[in-house]
């Protein structure tokens, strides 16, 4: 069953930030799409059987922290 998780990532501010976060998140098992909104500092991840902890770790690996 498809699900969506939303994260606030306040440290993102540019296209490099967006690319780094997107690249890490797309490597997490189950992730189908990643939408990054730099204006609101929100990241929306959609997919199957998403693991909140794994997604937060991916954001961390990109150099950012999710609230």
Model confidence pLDDT, tens digit, residues 4-56: 999 999 999 999 999 999 999 999 999 999 999 999 999 999 999 999 999 99
Which residue carries 């991916």 as its tokens?
A: 58
Give dist(CA 45, CA 1) in Å, integer. 14
The whole-number pLDDT of residue 47 equals 98
> What letter does residue 56 receive in the DSSP assignment?
H
Q: Please report the pLDDT score of residue 40 as a whole number.
A: 97
Reference 47, options 17, 20, 67, 27; nearest CA is 27
What domains are there in the chain, each with its CATH number?
A: 2-61 (3.30.70.100)
Q: What is the pTM of this model?
A: 0.94
- What pLDDT does 10 receive? 97
CA distance 38 to 54: 22
Three-state DSSP class for 31?
Answer: strand
């Amino acid at each position: 069953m498809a699900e969506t998780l939303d994260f606030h990532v306040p440290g993102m501010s540019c296209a490099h930030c967006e690319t780094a976060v997107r690249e890490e998140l797309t490597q997490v098992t189950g992730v189908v799409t990643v939408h990054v909104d730099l204006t609101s500092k929100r990241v929306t991840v959609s997919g199957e059987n998403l693991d909140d902890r794994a997604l937060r770790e991916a954001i961390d690996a990109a150099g950012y922290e999710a609230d």
